[in-house]
Structure 1
Amino acid sequence: MDPWSIGLAALVVLGLAAVVFGALYDRARNRRRHQEMLAPPARVIPRFRPDAPSPHYLSDLQARRPPTGAAPTAALSAAERTAVNEQLADQATPSVPAGYASAEFVTDPTARWVVLDQPVVCVCADEVASIRELLGLLERLVLSRTPLVLVAPAVAKDVLGTLEVNRIQQRLSVVVVLLPEVADRERVAQLCGGRPTDRSDRQAGYLPPEDLGRCERWVSTARSSHVLTRRTATA
């Protein structure tokens, strides 16, 4: 056989080998891509250092206990309690037919009252459905240590629970009063110099000072709430 024939045969064999290799390689690559598409994405699992302290999670029961070493809630003196009681009995004292929404907000255990001095009064025109609606306001009040009276026709259970925990942990002095009647909410807003706010404004964080009411002292019992124009002297 002449060299030309040998070269041609070798070229044909190499060509066939290249075609077979390419087909097998492409088949394997397509199979690998198919498996990658069906497989779950790779995730990096965080790991603690061997010397890192074990994580601590706060249970709901623990969250509803006052922090260790915290000062007790400042209750009224006997003389001041008597004076406030006289103001509540006075027919001229403005009041609404709804008390605190939860006993967790009570500040005077003896009388079972919520007494907040110089609070911001936020009157809501509609239900407070998420804590996000109040975040901007709460951040400002926590920093300034200003009490909050939240008046609304309804408040979602998780929002009420969040406010309760913040009150128990002494991060915020707050009371929630549920007033379903529009006339009652408008009366509170008028008495305190504010206006009812709607959900869209609260979610946008648009709560200018003129929309928020204020009063000298707010007192809520289990059944009614009262706007006091003056505080009594502490004995």
Structure 2
Amino acid sequence: MDGTLGVVIIVVGGIIALAIAAFADWRSKQRIEAAMTQAPDRGPAMADAPVPEYVPEPAPDDRPRRHPLTEDEQATLAEDLAGDHTHTVSAVLADDRLATTSEPQRAILRGPLVMVCPEGIGSLREVLDTLERASQQKSGIVLVAPSFDPEVLDVMSINVERGIIEAIPLHADAEVCQQVAGLTGATGVPRADLQSGYLPHSVYGRALVVVAGLDETVLVAPPAQATPGLVGAPGGPTPVHPRT
């Protein structure tokens, strides 16, 4: 009987110890969470300064959504597309994360440079210089290719979201790539040139307006237009890598 009582006392004591430890862990977690949402102690010198409000990072579902165009924006876009130099091509937005409007999802750019890569884009390194110089020059950039390395789309999405660049990736087959090049004054860039970094100013075309949808793309590109190309400029933000 005494042995059984001893076992019971030991078991009860163990349960009580576990309960105390669990309560201590819960209190510790509560203190850590409270500390993370409070302003730090700024000392007597800043005691009278306003206390900042710390807001946790919003969940993905809480981030701002793309919005439909307003009536004024729709009217302006319709006017832009009403001229004689509007063309519809069978190119589509390569990643809906780059859409700037909803209902329908489209990406709209005015006055972007256009680079056509009929053999596809196989790595970020192949277009990183173009993205950086477009950012420095504060010019939108449209990349047209039959295939994109996923990292290229990730970098474009991140930097567009942060307002560092304005960019549209257009998925198009070789024939449509040639069509877009002819309309915008661009010169198709082979993979060998992309990999070597040989990108003279003459490879870039220009469009007045590009509206890239999930089913087709509409662009305005007057004939015989001058193509200024990309000129490196000091300063300006540098596109960030998704792992930074």
Match among 107, 112, 136 for residue 105 of structure 2: 112
Tell me how far apart the structure 1 counterparts of residues 139 and 150 of structure 2 sit (CA, whole Å): 23
Where does residue 87 of structure 2 map in the other structure? 94
Post-superposition shift, 1:156? Answer: 1.4
* Structure 1 position 226, deviation (Å): 1.2
- Counterpart check, 1:135 vs 2:121: no
* TM-score normalised by structure 2 residue count: 0.59
1:85–1:196 CA distance, 2 compared to 1 (3 A): same
Q: How does 1:1-235 map to 2 (within 5 A)?
A: 76-85=69-78, 93-180=86-173, 182-229=174-221
Post-superposition shift, 1:82?
3.5
Give the TM-score normalised by the residue count of structure 1: 0.61
SS at match of 2:86: coil
Give the equivalent residue in structure 1 for 2:10: none
1: CA distance between counterparts of 2:129 and 2:95?
23
Can you give the 5+ residue segments of structure 2 that lack an aligned partner in the other structure? 1-58, 223-244
Shift of 1:101: 1.2
Structure 1 residue 121: Cα displacement: 0.5
Question: Helix, strand or coil: the match of 2:198?
Answer: coil
1:34-59: CA deviations, max 9, x gaps? xxxxxxxxxxxxxxxxxxxxxxxxxx
RMSD: 3.0
Contact 1:124/1:198, CA 8 A, preserved across alignment: yes
> How many angstroms apart in 2 are the aligned matches of 1:82 and 1:152?
31
Counterpart AA for 1:93: T
Following the alignment from structure 1 to structure 2, what is the Cα–Cα distance between the partners of residues 90 and 215? Answer: 13
Identity of aligned pairs, percent? 28
Where has structure 1 moved over 3 Å in runs of 4 or more?
Answer: 72-77, 85-92
- Counterpart secondary structure, 1:154: coil
Offset from partner CA, 1:2-55 (integer Å, 9 cap, x none): xxxxxxxxxxxxxxxxxxxxxxxxxxxxxxxxxxxxxxxxxxxxxxxxxxxxxx
Partners of 2:84 and 2:214 lie apart in 1 by: 18
Contact 1:96 1:184 in 2 (8 A): yes
Deviation at 1:112, TM superposition (A): 2.3
Shift of 1:93: 2.5
SS of equivalent to 1:94 = strand
Could you say if the C-alpha distance between residues 148 and 74 of structure 1 is closer, same or farther in structure 2, counting changes exceeding 3 Å? farther
Mapped partners of 1:108, 1:75: distance in 2: 5
Q: Compute the displacement of 1:187 (Å).
A: 0.8
- Give, in whole Å, the separation in 2 of the partners of 1:74 and 1:214: 27
Deviation of the 1:191 alpha carbon = 0.5
Larger radius of gyration: 1
Unaligned runs of 5+ in 1: 1-60, 67-71, 231-235
